[in-house]
Chain A
Amino acid sequence: MRGARSAKWVVSAIVVAMAATACGGGDDSGDGDGEAADIVRVDGGEPQNPLIPTNTNEQFGALVIQNVFSKLLDFDDNGEIYMVAAESVESNEDNSVWTVTLKDGWTFHDGTDVTAQSYVDAWNWAANIDNNQNNSFWFQDIVGYEDVHPAEEGAAPTADAMSGLQVVDETTFTIELTTPVSYYDYKLGYDAFTPLPESFYDDPEAFGEHPVGNGPYEFASWERGRAIELAAYDDYQGDDAAQNDGIEIKNYETLAAAYQDLLSGNLDVIRQVDPRDLPVYEQDLGDRAINQPYNGIQTIVPVWYNWEDTDPRVLQGVSMAIDRETITTTVLNGSRTPADSFVAPGVYGYQEGASGGITDYDPERARELVEEGGGVPNNEIAIQYNSDGGHQEWVEAVCNNLIENLGVTCVGDAKPDFATDLEARDADQVVSMYRGGWFQDYPLIVNFTKELYASYAQSNYGRFNSPEIDELFAQGDAAATLDETVAAYQEAERVLFEEMPAIPLWYQNVNGGYSEAVSNVRFTAAGQPVLTEITVN
C-alpha cells in the first residue's frame, strides 16, 4: 500500500510540472495559405535589434530593412551612385549645403505620403540621444547635431531638431553640414538615411516589430524563431519593383542546415554556405553557385603602440612573405580573393595593383626587406583573433608562411569570442597584431582608408598615427569635387603602403547559390542578393 500512496504523489507532482510547462506550449500556427503565390525563400536569422533603420547594423536586420525601405540613392557594382527615392541630391558650390529633391507620388505601406518632412523628422528623432539609436552617429555631420546629441556623457539634449535640416517644400529639403564634404551623397546611401511614417512616433516599439517603410516590399508577418514574410508592395513607385509576390526569410540556426534545405528544395536562395560545404557546393549547384568578391576586406593590423619604432619595411616584408593565392584557394576553399589594395574592388576609387607589389608573394624580397628594416622586434609575431569565427585555420597558415619565410616565431593569439577580442583592442592590450575586418558603409575609398587609419578615426584600434596621412585625408575632404577627393585619397593610399598601418590579406567572397525553382539571382557588391529581381519558375 505504501508504494501505491507514493505513486499518487509522484503522479500529482508530474501533473503539476506538466501544467506549468504547458503554458508555454500552446501557440497556434496560422499557416496554410498555400504555395500559389510566387514566394522566394531566402535564408536569414533572428534580427538582433528592433527593426528600425537607425537601429539596425547587423546582417539579419539589415536584410529586412533594405527590402522594406528604399534609400534615397544606391550604388552600382563600381561604387557609382544612382537615384532611388530621390529625384536628385545636389550640393552648393562649397559642398556645405546639400539639397535633396524627392520623387513625386511615393507612399508608405500604410498609404500615407512620403514627404520631405518624413525624412527630416525621422533623422531628428534618430539623432536624439534619448532615443538610444545605435546608428545615431551617422547624423553627426549635420549642423545642430550637438544640440540633440551632446558629446558629454549624461548631458541632456537642448533641442528637438537639428537646425541644419530644413524643409523647403513637400518634396525638397536641405542638409547643412558642419564641415563641407564633397562626397556627402555617398553617406546618404546608408540604411540610416530613410524616412519614417507619422504612425511610427505613436509607438516606436510596435514599429520595431512590424516596420512600415517606403520600399518594394511591405512587412507582412514575423513568426519569431521561424520566418519573416514580406509581400510585394503594389503601389511601389520605384524602378526596382518586385518581380515576385513576396519573400520569406527563413530563420536558420546554422548555415549548414540552410544548405541542406537548399539541396532538398526547401530553400531558394542561400546567401552564404557553411565552410564545411565550400569544397562541394560549386559541384552540387553547378551554374547556380555564386562565388564573387564583395566590399569587405580582411587585414592583419600591427598595433602601433608596439610597432611604432619598427621600420615599415619590416611590415612590407611580412606582407610579401604571405602566400595569399595558396591560402585562399586551399585553406579558405576559395571563399576569399587575394587583396592588392586597402580598398575592395567594388569601391569607387579602387585601383588595381595599388599595393605596388607589396601584396605579392616573394619570399626572397620579403627576407631582404625585413633585414633592411632591422628585423621583426624580438623575432616574434602574434596574431590575435576570435576563435568562434572560423579564423583559426588561416591564421595558422599565415603564421606558417612567416615562420618558414622569415624565420620568426609566429603564434595565433586566440580570444574565445568577438566580445573578448574587441575588449583587448579597446583597451590597447593587443600583444602584436590583430585580425582586422572591415565591411563597407558606403562604397567610396574614404570609407576604407580614413575611417580606419586617420589618427582620429574611432575604428583605428591599431592607434596608427601619421601626420602626413592625416594631411592627405584633410586635403581630400576639402577638395571641391568628388574626383579631386578620390585623387587625394589614392595618393594617401600610396603613402599608406609606405607606412603599413595594416597588411591587407584578402577580400571577402559571397559563396551563395540558389535552387532550381528561381532565376535571375544576382548579388550586389555589398554582398547581398537583389531580391526584387528574382523570378519564380
Chain B
Amino acid sequence: MGRYVVRRLLQMIPVFIGSTFIVFMMMYALPGDPVRALWGERAPDEAQMAALRADLGLDDPILIQYWHYLTGLLQGDFGTQIASRREVIDVIGQALPATLRLTALAFLITVVVGVGMGLLAGLRAGKAIDRGILFLTLLLISVPVFVLGQTFQTYFGTRWGWVTPTVQDSEDWGQLFLPAIVLASLSFAYVARLTRASIVENRRADYMRTAKAKGLTRRRAVSVHLLRNSMIPVVTFLGVDLGNLMAGAIVTEGIFNIQGIGGTVYRSLNSREGSTVVGIVSFIIVVYLVVTLLVDLLYAVLDPRIRYA
C-alpha cells in the first residue's frame, strides 16, 4: 500500500510537467500580447514595450521562457504578473482561501444532501418520496446555475433580506452558505441520482439477504453493508467533482461577488497574464491528481476485494 502511494506520487511529476508545458504553450499561442494590452485602445510606445519585455524576460525564445518558468516553479517562484508586477503566488494566495471555503462547504452539502436523498429515494423506490426526489433533482439538473443563483439572490437577498445579496466577508461561513447551495445544486442532484441507482441495484444483492439471514438489524445492514458497497460510483463522481467545484465556480463567484480562483483565472486569461493562468491551472491539476489518488485508495476501503500492492 505504501509503495503504491509512493509510486502514484512519483507518476504525478511527469504529468505535472507535461500539463504545465501544454498550458504554457497554449497561452503563448493565443493571439494578443499582454505587454501591448497595457496601453489599451491607445497606440503603445515601442521603445517602452521593448524595455518592459526585456525586463520581464518576455523577449527570450518561448522554450527558454518555459525553462525559466519551470525552474522557478521548482524553487517555489510562480513568476510575476505583467501589469501589476505582483508575485503570482500572492495573487493565488489571495484568491484561494475564499475558494477553498466555498468548495469545502459546497462539497459537504453535495455529500450530505446528495447521498441522503439518494439513500432515501433508493430505499423507498417507487414511492411518493422517490418521485418527489426525482422531480427535484431533474429540476436542479435542468436549471442553469446562473438562473438559480440570480433567483436565490433576488429573493433571499434583495427582496426578503434573509441574507446579504453578495458575500461581504468571505471568512463568514454563514454568508457563504447560499452560494455554496447554488454551487452544489447540480452536483448533489447527480449524486442523489447515482446513489439511488446504486442502492436499488444492491438492495437485492446476495450479501443483503445473508445479512438479513444472520440476523442483522435493517439499520446495520443498510448503513454498513448496503451503503458502503453502493458508494463506489458515487465516490468516483465526487472525486472529479471536487476539482470542478473549485475551478468551475466562476458563475457563482460572479453572482455572489466572491473573489476566488475562477474569476482570477478568467481575468488573467483576458489580459494574457500567462504565468498567473499557468500557475492556477497547475495548482488545479495537482488538486485533481491528489483527489484521484484518494479516490483510488478509497476504493480499497469501500471494497476489501480491491487491493493495491
- List chain A residues, Cβ under 8 A from B307: 2
B41→A260 contact, CB < 8 A: no
| Cβ < 8 Å to A, chain B residues 150-189 | 150, 153-154, 157-158, 161, 164-166, 168-171
| Least distance between B62 CB and chain A CB atoms (Å) | 17
A266→B97 contact, CB < 8 A: no
| Cβ < 8 Å to B, chain A residues 386-418 | 388, 417-418
Q: With contacts A47-B84, A49-B84, A225-B95 known, is A458 near B51, CB below 8 A?
A: no
A131 to B164, CA, bound (A): 44
A3 to B299, CA, bound (A): 10
A389 to B17, CA, bound (A): 35
Residue of A nearest to B5 (CB): A9
The answer to whether the Cβ of A89 comes within 8 Å of any Cβ in the partner chain is no
| Least distance between A116 CB and chain B CB atoms (Å) | 26
The answer to whether the Cβ of B259 comes within 8 Å of any Cβ in the partner chain is yes
* 1/0 contact string of B1-13 vs chain A (CB within 8 Å): 1100100000000
A253→B93 contact, CB < 8 A: no
A253→B263 contact, CB < 8 A: yes
- List chain A residues, Cβ under 8 A from B90: 224
The answer to whether the Cβ of B300 comes within 8 Å of any Cβ in the partner chain is yes
- List chain A residues, Cβ under 8 A from B258: 253
A419→B47 contact, CB < 8 A: no
- List chain B residues, Cβ under 8 A from A251: 259
The answer to whether the Cβ of A374 comes within 8 Å of any Cβ in the partner chain is no
- List chain B residues, Cβ under 8 A from A356: none
| Cβ < 8 Å to A, chain B residues 222-251 | none
- List chain A residues, Cβ under 8 A from B166: 252, 257, 260-261, 266
The answer to whether the Cβ of A78 comes within 8 Å of any Cβ in the partner chain is no
Residue of B nearest to A13 (CB): B294
B46→A153 contact, CB < 8 A: yes
* 1/0 contact string of A257-268 vs chain B (CB within 8 Å): 110110110100
B41→A438 contact, CB < 8 A: yes
Which stretch (A20-28, A232-240, A314-322, A326-334) binds chain B? A20-28
The answer to whether the Cβ of B219 comes within 8 Å of any Cβ in the partner chain is no
- List chain A residues, Cβ under 8 A from B256: 257
- List chain B residues, Cβ under 8 A from A418: 32, 37, 40, 270
B255→A254 contact, CB < 8 A: yes
| Cβ < 8 Å to B, chain A residues 412-454 | 417-420, 422-424, 426, 437-439
A419→B272 contact, CB < 8 A: yes
- List chain A residues, Cβ under 8 A from B39: 57, 134
- List chain A residues, Cβ under 8 A from B263: 253
Which stretch (A101-109, A144-152, A520-528) binds chain B? A144-152
| Cβ < 8 Å to A, chain B residues 83-97 | 83-85, 90, 92-97
- List chain A residues, Cβ under 8 A from B5: 9, 13
A136 to B54, CA, bound (A): 17
A422→B36 contact, CB < 8 A: yes
Q: With contacts A153-B50, A257-B257 known, is A25 near B1, CB below 8 A?
A: no
B294→A10 contact, CB < 8 A: yes
A422 to B36, CA, bound (A): 9
The answer to whether the Cβ of B45 comes within 8 Å of any Cβ in the partner chain is yes
- List chain A residues, Cβ under 8 A from B43: 457-461
Q: With contacts A24-B96, A25-B97 known, is A264 near B161, CB below 8 A?
A: yes
Q: With contacts A260-B158, A420-B32 known, is A14 near B94, CB below 8 A?
A: no
| Least distance between B246 CB and chain A CB atoms (Å) | 10
The answer to whether the Cβ of B202 comes within 8 Å of any Cβ in the partner chain is no
A3→B304 contact, CB < 8 A: yes
A32 to B32, CA, bound (A): 44
A151→B47 contact, CB < 8 A: yes
- List chain A residues, Cβ under 8 A from B48: 129, 132-134, 136-137, 149
| Least distance between B13 CB and chain A CB atoms (Å) | 16
Q: With contacts A48-B271, A225-B259 known, is A29 near B171, CB below 8 A?
A: yes
- List chain B residues, Cβ under 8 A from A21: 96, 100
- List chain A residues, Cβ under 8 A from B272: 419
A132 to B45, CA, bound (A): 11
B297→A13 contact, CB < 8 A: yes
A263→B45 contact, CB < 8 A: no
The answer to whether the Cβ of B52 comes within 8 Å of any Cβ in the partner chain is yes
- List chain B residues, Cβ under 8 A from A225: 94-95, 98, 259
- List chain B residues, Cβ under 8 A from A151: 46-47
| Cβ < 8 Å to A, chain B residues 17-74 | 30-34, 36-48, 50-52, 54-55
A205→B46 contact, CB < 8 A: no
- List chain A residues, Cβ under 8 A from B161: 264
B51→A129 contact, CB < 8 A: yes
A2→B270 contact, CB < 8 A: no
Interface residue from B36, B47, B168 paired with A155 (Cβ < 8 Å): B47
The answer to whether the Cβ of A283 comes within 8 Å of any Cβ in the partner chain is no
The answer to whether the Cβ of B285 comes within 8 Å of any Cβ in the partner chain is no
Residue of A nearest to B85 (CB): A50
A9 to B8, CA, bound (A): 13
- List chain B residues, Cβ under 8 A from A437: 41
The answer to whether the Cβ of A256 comes within 8 Å of any Cβ in the partner chain is yes
| Least distance between A66 CB and chain B CB atoms (Å) | 17
A130→B158 contact, CB < 8 A: no
The answer to whether the Cβ of B301 comes within 8 Å of any Cβ in the partner chain is yes
A253→B259 contact, CB < 8 A: yes
Interface residue from A14, A154, A261, A420 paired with B54 (Cβ < 8 Å): A154
A130→B84 contact, CB < 8 A: no
B83→A49 contact, CB < 8 A: yes
- List chain B residues, Cβ under 8 A from A153: 46-47, 50-51
Q: With contacts A152-B47, A225-B95, A422-B32 known, is A260 near B1, CB below 8 A?
A: no
Residue of B nearest to A209 (CB): B86
A2 to B308, CA, bound (A): 10
| Cβ < 8 Å to B, chain A residues 455-477 | 457-461
Q: With contacts A10-B294, A264-B158 known, is A3 near B47, CB below 8 A?
A: no
28 contacts between A and B (CB under 8 A): A3-B300, A7-B301, A9-B5, A24-B93, A24-B97, A25-B100, A48-B271, A49-B38, A49-B83, A49-B85, A57-B38, A129-B48, A130-B51, A132-B55, A136-B45, A137-B48, A150-B47, A225-B259, A256-B255, A260-B157, A260-B166, A264-B161, A266-B164, A418-B37, A419-B30, A419-B271, A420-B31, A439-B41
Q: Which residues of A contact B (CB under 8 A)?
A: 2-3, 5-7, 9-10, 13-14, 17, 21, 24-25, 27, 29, 31, 46-50, 57-58, 129-130, 132-134, 136-137, 149-155, 205, 208, 224-226, 251-254, 256-258, 260-261, 263-264, 266, 388, 417-420, 422-424, 426, 437-439, 457-461
Q: Which residues of B contact A (CB under 8 A)?
A: 1-2, 5, 30-34, 36-48, 50-52, 54-55, 83-85, 90, 92-98, 100-101, 150, 153-154, 157-158, 161, 164-166, 168-171, 253-259, 263, 267, 270-272, 290, 293-294, 297-298, 300-301, 304, 307
Given contacts A9-B5, A10-B301, A458-B42, 7 further A-B contacts (CB under 8 A): A17-B290, A24-B96, A29-B171, A49-B84, A129-B47, A153-B46, A257-B166
